[in-house]
Amino acid sequence: MKIHVLTLFPEMLKEFFQSSMIGRAVQKGILSLHAVDVRGYSLDKHKKVDDYPYGGGAGMLMQAQPVFDAWKDVTGGGRVRTVYVTPQGIPFTQRMAEELAKEEELVFLCGHYEGIDQRVLEETVTDYVSIGDYVLTGGELPAMVMIDAVGRLIPGVLGNDSSAEEESFYNDLLEYPQYSRPEIWHDKKVPDVLLSGDHRKISQWRLEQSRRRTAQIRPDLYAKYERRQELIGRLMKDKRNYIHMIESLRRGRAEILFWEGDDILLYDRRCVTCMISASCREAGRRMLDLIPGETRSVVASQAFLNELFCGSGHSGADGSGGGEVPEAARICSQFEIHSECSQLLYTQKTPLPVQHKDIRLLTMDQLDYVSERYSYDGRSYVEARIREGVMYGAFVEGEQVGFIGMHSEGSLGLLYVEEAYRRHGIARSLEAYMINRTLEKGWTPYGHVMVGNEGSFALQEKMGLYRSDRTVWWLERK
């Protein structure tokens, strides 16, 4: 990623660009950072860049011309995402950092004095963002804050062992307290449970600490956490049919867009997928309005929802068609049925034996092998799965004979074994291996099998997975 910072104080940023995590990312070539001195673009003979505001008032404003020329020089006048850091912006959040981390190129515009002439902002700025409700003297610190938050999300910036996505904020709870050596310091002892070696107990203690802290310090987050836990508890009563919702909520991936009784709409922003369950067609229709416009896939728990998502929008088998609200019309007929699946889940906590010994994490070296043999999704999907580190391969005498992986929404799948190596227990070993990796993360392994794929059902049930009694429908945007 390439980031330009337009500023009157480039030296404020230079130190930051070279230090810490961000500095290392720059050295590795993952990130390139440029502090651009706006004063260098002043056409004034004294390099003046500010003037009094029309209409009066305290202080000075940065003038339009040098800011525009600096921006034009950096972007070529193109459509580069340009962030103006200002107390008048929308609050910066982790979600926004994730959004910005997807860009190839970013410009941060730092004002000083009382801000910048409105006219140049209108011609350059795409996002007005603030880091919080307090007043600073300029935009350099907010820009550094945002670059730090965005930078650490770029693949390869953090070390391999600290994945940015498995941290606090993803489960709506604050982090628990942590302790390091020595065991006693200033007469304070490290809590006994942390020295016990009992990992179940340690997890329980940490969860309890997180909950207590969050309830006290962030009641807003805690309320979200409690509502999510309540929905999980409710779905657990019909675990086999709702394992996709349960796991998406537990893993901190899905947010609740709507929940009233049996009418549930969840959204997993990372894989742009909605999960929906409705008590009746009318309830389903009401939830359509809440489907985010960018939604690519929908997992529907009732067949009558298919018609809402995939039908013409006016057919209404119950005679209620025609009165569609505009939002529902936006969704209708945009999706098509991709598959009808049963869900399978592994409810034991114990790992499974893995007979085949040579199973290992796949790298881009095996991208061709996998994408030539996995026909359901495109090459770029497979590439993303490998990049996320969730694809494993089985090898015999150094030659690859199969693979398995985790789908973007968290279910197990992408299973394949060479024709010549089938009935050798390799699929079983791959699946056992994948289940064990999933258990290690504290998750419940689950997957979807298309109705009619009896071979797969037989394997799953032999391995001790349970099958849902109802099916779900995968709907994909046309």
The contact pattern for ligand JQB, residues 104-133, with x = CB under 6 A and - = no contact, is: -------xx-xx--------------xxx-
Query: Please, what is the minimum distance in Å from the beta carbon of residue 111 to ligand JQB?
Result: 3
Footprint of ligand JQB on 402-441 (CB under 6 A): none
Choice from 30, 72, 98, 138 touching ligand JQB (CB under 6 A) = 138
* Identity of the amino acid at 168: S
Nearest Cα to Cα of residue 365 among 397, 390, 400, 396:
400
Choice from 23, 53, 87, 351 touching ligand JQB (CB under 6 A) = 87
Query: Please, what is the minimum distance in Å from the beta carbon of residue 145 to ligand JQB?
Result: 8
Query: Please, what is the minimum distance in Å from the beta carbon of residue 269 to ligand JQB?
Result: 24
- Count of residues touching ligand JQB (by CB under 6 A): 18
3-state secondary structure of 127: strand
End-to-end CA distance of the chain: 31
Nearest Cα to Cα of residue 7 among 66, 80, 90:
66
| Residue 451 DSSP one-character state | T
Q: Which is nearer to ligand JQB, 58 or 364 (CB)?
A: 58
* Identity of the amino acid at 167: E
Choice from 42, 63, 86, 297 touching ligand JQB (CB under 6 A) = 86
Query: Please, what is the minimum distance in Å from the beta carbon of residue 85 to ligand JQB?
Result: 4
Query: Please, what is the minimum distance in Å from the beta carbon of residue 48 to ligand JQB?
Result: 17
Q: Which is nearer to ligand JQB, 122 or 187 (CB)?
A: 122
Query: Please, what is the minimum distance in Å from the beta carbon of residue 42 to ligand JQB?
Result: 18
Choice from 56, 118, 134, 353 touching ligand JQB (CB under 6 A) = 134
Footprint of ligand JQB on 283-302 (CB under 6 A): none
The Cα–Cα gap between 274 and 264 comes to 10
Query: Please, what is the minimum distance in Å from the beta carbon of residue 18 to ligand JQB?
Result: 23
Helix or strand (DSSP H, E) at 274:
strand 273-277
The contact pattern for ligand JQB, residues 150-189, with x = CB under 6 A and - = no contact, is: ----------------------------------------
Region of residue 32 (phi > 0: left; psi between -120 and 50: alpha; otherwise: beta): beta
Query: Please, what is the minimum distance in Å from the beta carbon of residue 50 to ligand JQB?
Result: 11
Nearest Cα to Cα of residue 345 among 169, 197, 467:
467
Choice from 66, 142, 402, 413 touching ligand JQB (CB under 6 A) = 142
| Strand order across the beta sheet in which 466-477 lies | 254-260, 263-268, 273-277, 297-300, 466-477, 335-345, 446-450, 412-417, 399-406, 391-396, 359-361
Query: Please, what is the minimum distance in Å from the beta carbon of residue 131 to ligand JQB?
Result: 4
Taking a C-beta distance cutoff of 8 angstroms, is the pair 358, 393 a contact?
no
* Identity of the amino acid at 263: D
Region of residue 49 (phi > 0: left; psi between -120 and 50: alpha; otherwise: beta): alpha
Q: At what angle do helices 303-310 and 281-288 cross, to 10 degrees?
A: 40
Q: Which is nearer to ligand JQB, 60 or 439 (CB)?
A: 60
Taking a C-beta distance cutoff of 8 angstroms, is the pair 265, 258 a contact?
yes
Determine the interface stretch with ligand JQB among 86-94, 174-182, 347-355, 368-376 (rule: CB under 6 A). 86-94
Q: Which is nearer to ligand JQB, 54 or 161 (CB)?
A: 54
Choice from 29, 57, 135, 364 touching ligand JQB (CB under 6 A) = 135
Footprint of ligand JQB on 56-85 (CB under 6 A): 85
Residues in CB range of 394: below 8 A, 6 or more apart: 356, 358, 359, 400, 401, 402, 403, 417, 426, 429, 430
Q: Which is nearer to ligand JQB, 148 or 383 (CB)?
A: 148
Choice from 11, 20, 40, 136 touching ligand JQB (CB under 6 A) = 136
**Interface residues with ligand JQB (CB under 6 A)?**
85-87, 89, 111-112, 114-115, 130-132, 134-139, 142
